[in-house]
Structure 1
């Protein structure tokens, strides 16, 4: 799980660097997070790694095994 999270942080950092600023990345991540909470999804935990934001973030136990860092952490580090 730590490797997946490290890759997500690296991808975020690279994306912000290519874009020239991190504000756009932060805004996009926040919009994706809001949309994932507003639109209920029936997602299998086995497929959660395919999403940009964790579709299972509301489930505390799943956070232990999450392949993605929280959006809050990603925005803070962007």
Structure 2
């Protein structure tokens, strides 16, 4: 959260983007998280509750997404 605040402050102050900076990684990180959230919402809408295996499977999605963003 603090890094987001610092980045927003730099952008608002007019700090120009660096041409040598790496490409933005947000689409690669947010797309799988969005798909997982949609899958969870669909499961909740059709089944009506989360069972223990469903929660475990949902939590198992997090480590690969974190490792992929590194």
Interval of TM-score (by shorter of Structure 1 and Structure 2)? 0.3 to 0.5
Instruction: Say which structure, 1 or 2, has more relative contact order (CA 8 Å, 6+ apart).
Output: 1
> Which structure dedicates a bigger proportion of its chain to helix?
2
TM-score, length basis structure 1: 0.36
TM-score in terms of structure 2 length: 0.39
